Structure 1
Amino acid sequence: MPQDDYRIRDLPSLERVIGEPMEFVRAKVGPQLNSAMKSFIARSPLIFIATIDANGHVDVSPKGDPEGFVEIDGDGNLLIPERLGNRLTFGFRNILDNGQIGLIFVVPNQRETLRVKGVATLHNDPAVLERMQVGGKPALLYTYVEVKECFFHCGKALIRSKLWQPEAWSGETRSIAARQFASQRVPDEEAVRRTEAALEHSYKDALY
């Protein structure tokens, strides 16, 4: 447990540690997508979505598809298709309770990310779902995000993480999650291998 003496409790205390943002940084935050942001979204194959449940708890979920899978409508708002998944629907339940949403768009080999805040609703218009099809399979539903705030986030986090530098990656490719997914409390290697095989089958044959 952190020592209470060192807890940061207010904005002045925070700014003494972090500093105040420069004016040009404040100015980059806007209420609508500009052309550069739209181009970034058109190249993004991966986003992270934050939603809030009825009790104020936050969930974050990744969504990925071929680049440009998130559509931008004529009003500059977003449509995010949903595909097959684990069916837990935590994020969708949160949207039904509390429409506030946050997004981070990632583009390979781009060090900056795009952050978007907005208000989300869920829809299943058959024409839109068909338009969003991949591999001949329509989207299951889509999340509509009315954009309220957006800005590019500097690239320091991705630079520090070496995310786009394969030479810095671990050579380990076995699924860490498979150990938790395996049914036994302390799974043996055979149980882990069976779980890895089941995951691989799902990833290859039930992606859409």
Structure 2
Amino acid sequence: METADRATRFYSDQVLDHLNPAMAEFVGRMEMAFISTSDADGECDSTLRAGPAGFIQVIDSRTVVYPEYRGNGVMASLGNIMENPHVGMLMVDFTEDLIGLHVNGRARIAPRDEFPTEDRKVERWVVVQVQEAYIHCRKHIPRMVPVDRIRDWGTDDVKRKGGDYFGAKAAKEASQES
């Protein structure tokens, strides 16, 4: 019963159906977000989207958009959104405030020209209508320090992309041979 009471208080005190100004500012400085989707059967997928600060744009208090870049060839998230528009976003500040923001809503896929950009890597946009926005407490968020790194944008070289890092292809081939 205590858990139900705490959840009721949390939803009453902390969950909004829009982004307030502090949340909008937070979104504007994020460089990554974890995106959760599921298909029509409820099979889930969680993925990372990243870009420079501001790559997730707040259009208004109830709408955010993020780009889909060239190179996202699997498109599991987009396929799921086409079947089931419910989406969850988690943005975490690991470096300064050690706090997170959940944004849950309904998504649609928009053409590149709906939100003009100079970034040629953007192929399309995901538009999220905010239904819930709430804090992810800092209690267990680790502090991390960003480091510069070289990125091989636009390459199809499997090794440079980190392609089969976990050896899944070799494991599948070995299991098929036995």
Shorter-chain TM-score bucket reads 0.7 to 0.9
Are 1:15 and 2:21 an aligned pair?
no
- Whether the 8 Å contact between 2:18 and 2:61 is mirrored in structure 1 is no
* Alignment-derived partner of residue 102 in structure 2: 115
Partner of 1:42: 28
Q: Which has the higher helix share?
A: 1
- Moved segments of 4+, more than 6 Å: none
> How many Å separate the matches in 2 of 1:49 and 1:78?
13
Alignment correspondent of 2:126? 143
- After TM superposition, give the deviation of residue 153 of structure 1 in Å: 1.1
Query: Percent of pairs identical after alignment?
Result: 24
**C-alpha distance in structure 1 between counterparts of 2:38 and 2:165, whole Å:** 28
Distance of 1:89 and 1:186 partners within structure 2:
22
Deviations 1:60-99 (A, max 9, x none): 0100000111111135301111112341111101100000
**RMSD of the alignment, in Å?**
2.8
User: What is the count of residue pairs matched by the alignment?
Assistant: 157
Query: Measured at CA, do residues 83 and 165 of structure 1 come closer, stay the same or move farther in structure 2, by a change above 3 Å?
Result: closer
Instruction: State which drifts further: 68-77 or 87-96.
Output: 68-77
Q: Letter of the aligned partner of 1:68 in structure 2?
A: G
Higher relative contact order (CA 8 A, sep 6+): 2
Rounded to whole Å, the distance in 2 between the matches of 1:31 and 1:20 is: 19
Mapped partners of 1:22, 1:75: distance in 2: 24
Query: 3-state DSSP class of the match of 1:20?
Result: helix
Amino acid in structure 2 at the alignment position of 1:123: A
For 1:195-206, what aligned pairs fall within 5 Å after superposition?
Answer: none
Residue range with higher mean Cα deviation, 105-114 or 58-67: 105-114
* Residue 126 (structure 1) aligns with: 113
Letter in 2 for 1:107: D
The Cα of 1:58 is off from its aligned counterpart by 1.0
Q: Is the 8 A contact 2:24 2:61 kept in 1?
A: no
- Unpaired runs of 5+ residues, structure 2, are 147-161, 174-178
The amino acid that maps onto 1:120 is: A
Name which one, 1 or 2, has greater alpha-carbon Rg: 1
**Structure 1 unaligned regions, length at least 5:** 1-11, 167-174, 188-208
Higher percent of residues as strand:
2
